[in-house]
A and B are shown apart, each in its own frame.
Chain A
Amino acid sequence: MNPTIFLQTTLNGLMTGGVYALVAVGLTLIFGVMKIVNFAQGEFVMLAMYVSWMLATFAHIGPYPGLLIVGAVMFGLGYAAFKFLIVRVIGKPDEAFILLTLGLSIVLQNLVLVIFGAEYFSIDTPIKDEAFHMGGLSLSVPRLIAFLVALLMVAGLSILLNRTDLGRAMRATAESREVATLLGINPIRCFTIAFAVGIVLAGAAGVLLTPMFYVFPGVGTLFNLTAFVVVVLGGMGSVTGALLGGLIIGIVEALSSTYISLDLSQLFTFLIFLAVLFIRPSGLFGGAAK
């Protein structure tokens, strides 16, 4: 086994894993606080990519500078989605939110298809094709940036959840709505913010992905499934779990691609997923077992 190839593969996996973690972090936050699996998370990533592309193409604002604008837009979208749609299924049986978010993902994906067409768009950033080369290994710059930002976000989110009043309020609401209300916390407000922040995180992921991936209506679905696997692996509601889960899945995918077969690498992701569900459904860092 060639050590360079092994190292390169692992490196690829880590970088890709960082990307998965980015998408999963928002998902796990939403689940952690509201117990809702947002089947449309990938579509919000996709929307952010389109917003980013439009900023770059029409306003000549690159993806990294445009991050704040996209973040604001995504906050608005998340807030609106929550107020008009999600809030109505809180407290209802599981099928309600599963089907609602599924319906939302279908509508978003196809609305974009109708408006923008099926063409693949791409953004030109100066660092797009840049890579660091050291000793036979190469490391793509945009991927490295995405990886570092993923780490930053996980750290930031952890601080938010553990050190701020808002975070404490959200965690209290997650544990028990009734008790939180008794303590004077407005659960709906917590849910709204949690959801909106979760969407903002999806948006950030989208922006960081634009230098690396094409922008097209179906790009969200590519991440949806993997994000779910990552969240289950890491533990629904655990932010560090999402990061670690992402890295693990990224590496497993890369290793199985290189050493077994590219086609089957997705298979391994799903097999891990099923294994976790049966052996330890709460995941690596999951709190209450579900």
Chain B
Amino acid sequence: MKNRVLWSVVLTVLLAFLGFAMVACQESGTKEIKIADMDCLSGSNADAGIQDLNGAQLAVDDINAAGGIKALGGAKLKLVAVDMTSDPKNAASTAERVFSTEKVVAAKCPGISGIALPMLPIAEKAQVPVICNSINDQITGQGYKYTFQIAPHGSQFGNAQVQFLKWLNEKYKLGIKDVAVVYENSGYGVSTAGGVKDFVTKGGFNLVLYESYPHGFTDASSLVTKVKASKAQALFPVAYTTDAKLIISTMNQMNVHPVVVGGGAGFIWPAFFTELGPAANGFVSVASWNWDSKAMSSKPELAAITERYQKRFGAFMGEHAGPSYVAIRMFADAMEQTKSSDSKKIRDYLATYNNSGLIGGMMQPGTIKIDSTGFNGVVHPVMIQWQDNLPRTVYPEVDASRSYMPPKK
């Protein structure tokens, strides 16, 4: 008797689950076009992921406020925020779920490469175009037709940093020869560090230290001791916010003061200033995007975007939020031009995307041009310096909106 009851309960639960799932599969509205924003909204990468979401949400709201997709009768966009977590296994399952059960026409893929990579084959099989603002070279290095990447490749970062250091040496006669590179042993760190190493040696500098440290380490004293021992005059650290802060405060504690040229990420997000306060001013870092690059700040409509962002989210538009905004804009543009919300047509339009107007103007140096691999081949990283509590673009000259301020000796 007891077992029959048990079996009936089990079967009912299973059927209920299936029934619910099938209902959940149904389409919601008719005049809404869904775009997925797939980002790390929880776990260790959440601080970056939330910036991505904010940028995408602002774009959707801006587009809808201006009348939606006019070519489709003013259809409104709906952003489906998806938490990809910070674990690649969960990211894969989540991507499967979203592409299977939500009728999205396009997706913005995570700004963290380790979470973006697992979802690309799933998007390819589901034939949904995705635009990535993560920097791993392999994103557009695998031949996927539905993957696009608008941020610079990690391998380009090193070049920017080295060129900047050379420029500093020439202009300010700093005489820096010995460079130390330390990087976090995570996807981001490894993607950029190799490139940095190459460019440092090719640029005529002495690489006196090239060291990775464990992601999420809690004690930087060994690292700083090694930097001190190497007698490096310049340090290129690649780190997220907490590591960046730990390294800097440990260097202060141990009286180790090389010229720091940050590797992006933790060195340029709003949290860097929240953690260090005005002591952040003067720090230099490479960035995949900055809010005040010349192309953006010279066009009033674009500058207004960053102001709206600041007002709404209480922080400046950071490195993740900007390209996220651009991605949504590109999808909308594709739909306007092809007069369709068909995923394949959107994909085909993006494959030859070439814009120097209001959309292209948002990515430095002012143009977006997608090449045959799906990568925005004309983009390059910029160098920022914290001035007046904000990161300002100072190099290369074509993108700079402020001059570099050398440290007071």
Contact = CB atoms under 8 A, between A and B. Distances in A.
Q: Note whether A and B contact each other (Cβ less than 8 A).
A: yes
Given A15-B221, A262-B223, A263-B212, 13 more contacts: A8-B225, A12-B219, A118-B86, A129-B249, A131-B253, A212-B218, A214-B242, A216-B242, A258-B225, A262-B217, A262-B222, A263-B185, A265-B222
Contact of A254 (B222, B229, B246, B252): B222
Say which size band chain B's interface belongs to: 20 to 34
A144 to B, nearest CB: 12
Contacts of A52: none
- At the interface, is chain B mostly helix, strand, loop or mixed? helix
Nearest to B249: A129
Interface in A239-290: 253-254, 257-258, 261-263, 265-266
A140 B223 contact: no
Interface in B214-238: 214, 216-219, 221-223, 225-226, 228-229
A113 to B, nearest CB: 8
A122 B219 CA distance: 14
B222 A131 contact: no
A222 interface: yes
Interface of A: 2, 5, 8-9, 12, 15-16, 113, 117-120, 122, 128-131, 133, 138, 140, 212-214, 216, 218-219, 222, 253-254, 257-258, 261-263, 265-266
A147 B382 CA distance: 44
Interface in B221-273: 221-223, 225-226, 228-229, 241-242, 246, 249, 252-255
In order of increasing CB-CB distance, the 10 nearest A-B pairs are A257-B222, A12-B221, A131-B253, A262-B213, A138-B254, A118-B46, A5-B229, A213-B218, A120-B242, A8-B225
Contacts of A258: 222, 225-226, 229
Contacts of A117: 46
7 contacts: A8-B225, A118-B43, A118-B86, A254-B222, A258-B229, A262-B213, A262-B223
B177 to A, nearest CB: 20
B211 interface: yes
B225 A133 contact: no
Nearest to A213: B218
A39 B213 CA distance: 26
A138 B228 CA distance: 12
Given A119-B47, A120-B241, A213-B218, A261 B211 contact: yes
A212 B343 CA distance: 51
Interface string B8-52: 000000000000000000000000000000000011101100000
